[in-house]
Structure 1
Amino acid sequence: MFSYRHAFHAGNHADVLKHTILVHVLDYFNRKDAPYWVIDTHAGAGIYDLRSEWATKRGEFADGLDRLLAAQAMPDAIERYLQAVQHFNPDGVANFYPGSPWLALQAMRGRDRLRLFEMHPTEIEVLRDNLKREAAGTQRQVAVYQADGFNGLKSQLPPAPRRGIVLIDPSYEDKRDYRHTVQALSEGLKRFATGCFIVWYPLVQRREVADLQRALTRLATPWLHATLSVSKPAATGLGLHGSGMFVVNPPWTLHDALATTLPWLKATLAQDDRANFTLARHGD
């Protein structure tokens, strides 16, 4: 149950897609002065050292973040994402990779709030230590819960300012996470129908992935669905060949940004000729 550590995967192609979209959504929310909350159901450690043994063991950032850093020209959304990453690397060398909590902290204003859930007993201690060391002065804005984010989400909705971003991105190592994700989103929308809900999921060879996609796209609410595949599925049936992002009540600017960004990401991150992307939307 507690085998997953995101440090193994920090800065990979799935993080690139997830965090490019998250940064865009955060920027959109900052267009208005009204405060908002960010609720992360599976926060992880918050920020990751790409020089650590865990990160270098697989070196997945080499085919993700590093390829973007080596590019000569890029879409605006990618340039903005890299600016957010480089904020945590002032010496110009990308040694640290910010996870979703750190990207949110960077974007948030004084009245905005961050709510973080993490179940992993070691990961949450690292998260708390990182907050004390790396995010001093933000304690008033942040609450950390060692709890199941699927269930804990209910207690946070609707957020007090009635503006909010909910990120649901479990590891999906437990196959039940697919069903729990759909349940958490459905119940969350009942409590906070106007909220922006962001669901990340892996593209792996599991029946549950197709089931999740069908359940999400049947929602009778405005949504945007983007996927990015960087390679063909492995012959063994194992491994991550891509990922998907499903955004409920997305910013109206997101579709056009991704229409430019996804083809570029496909070309830049492709590992073979089966790299591909999809982009669809429903409602407003």
Structure 2
Amino acid sequence: MTKHWPFMSIVFISGSVCAESTCADIHGRQSYLPLSIKNGTICFVQEPVLDPKARAPIGADAISLYYIYNGNVPVKAEGRGLLYEDTPGEIVDAFSSSVGRDHQEKIFVIHSMEIRESLVEPNSSGKFYSVSVFDAMENALQRDEHASNWFGADYSWLSDGQRVTYKFPYQSRNDVRQAIDSPFASLMSREQPIPVRLKSKSYLFEGPNVKDKTRKYLVGGDRAIVDKVTAGWCQVHYSGGAKPLEMWLMCSALDIDAQEKKID
């Protein structure tokens, strides 16, 4: 009997070497179900946030993404991670989708977190949403900062004390998918001015925030150019007045100017 033991040991050792990595191999609590994509698996792991210089825990946790490329060793995603505050928050949804003319696979992560009472914005939901976009580049996962900034982050809703004045427009998978097909989606990947026309009278804002409202406005039919989008806000360049304006308004107030697009 004993002469068979070495053979059995070799089998066990070989088996352990050939075993593929899984999300369970990563130290930390799994915050969301693993996501299978074309060439591997993405894991969502809650772990301590480290000081970038001292590499020591700062006393807060965040959710990190790890990529297992074809069963290889898990590799942490490159770039800025998901938002965190007193808590790491939670992932509302995570999925992959083909984007653009080249049908590139991108990973979308909808995240939310409760803001602590001492910091929460008055007349808000107290819940902060964001959408992060990642690319699977060979054996690494990399955050797409440009696309992530296009989706942006904000409270799920804000009000003036009487009515809701703003809603973060990407709170579900369906919202994100519709955004991918929106007229402004091209600005996720490249800076290309988009001609627009105002649907109706709309007030302008100094920045992409309801607090930055001004007394200036554009009226229905006014033409402008959009070259930047974030969290449902569009930065417009308007040259039809006495002085050119570069300000913000909600993208929902705009239509693509088909006539100008044909001229271009």
Common fold: TM-score over 0.5: no
> TM-score, structure 2 length as denominator?
0.22
- In our comparison, the structure showing a higher alpha carbon Rg is 2
> TM-score, structure 1 length as denominator?
0.21
* Structure number with higher helix proportion: 1
Greater relative contact order (Cα < 8 A, sep 6+): 1
